[in-house]
Amino acid sequence: MKKIRVAVFGAGSLGSVLGAILAKRNDVLLITRGEHYRAIKENGLRVEGFTEGLFNIPVAEHYPGGYDIIILAVKAYQTEEAIREIKMEYKDEILITFQNGVGIVDMLKDFDVIPGVTTHGAMLISPGIVKHAGYGDTFIGEKSGELTERVFEIAKNFTESGLKTEVVNDIMERRWVKAAVNAVINPLTAIFSIKNGEIWNDDNLRSIAKCMSEELSLFLQKKGINEDVYSLVQDVVLKTRDNESSMLQDIKRGRKTEADYIIKPFSNSKCMYILYKMIKYLEKG
Residue 267 contacts residue 105 (beta carbons within 8 Å)? no
d(CA 242, CA 234): 14
Element (H, E) at 7: strand 5-9
Task: Based on the residue annotation, tell me whether 178 is a catalytic residue of this protein.
Answer: yes
Q: Is beta strand 112-118 parallel, antiparallel or unpaired with respect to 69-72?
A: unpaired
Q: Could you please report the per-residue DSSP string of 118-136? A: E--EEEEEETTEEEEEE--
d(CA 46, CA 96): 24
Residue 103 contacts residue 113 (beta carbons within 8 Å)? no
Q: Which of 75, 131, 178, 195 is catalytic?
A: 178
Element (H, E) at 112: strand 112-118
Q: Is 102 exposed, middle or buried (CB count within 10 Å of its CB: 0-12, 13-18, 19+)?
A: buried
Q: Which residues carry out catalysis?
A: 178
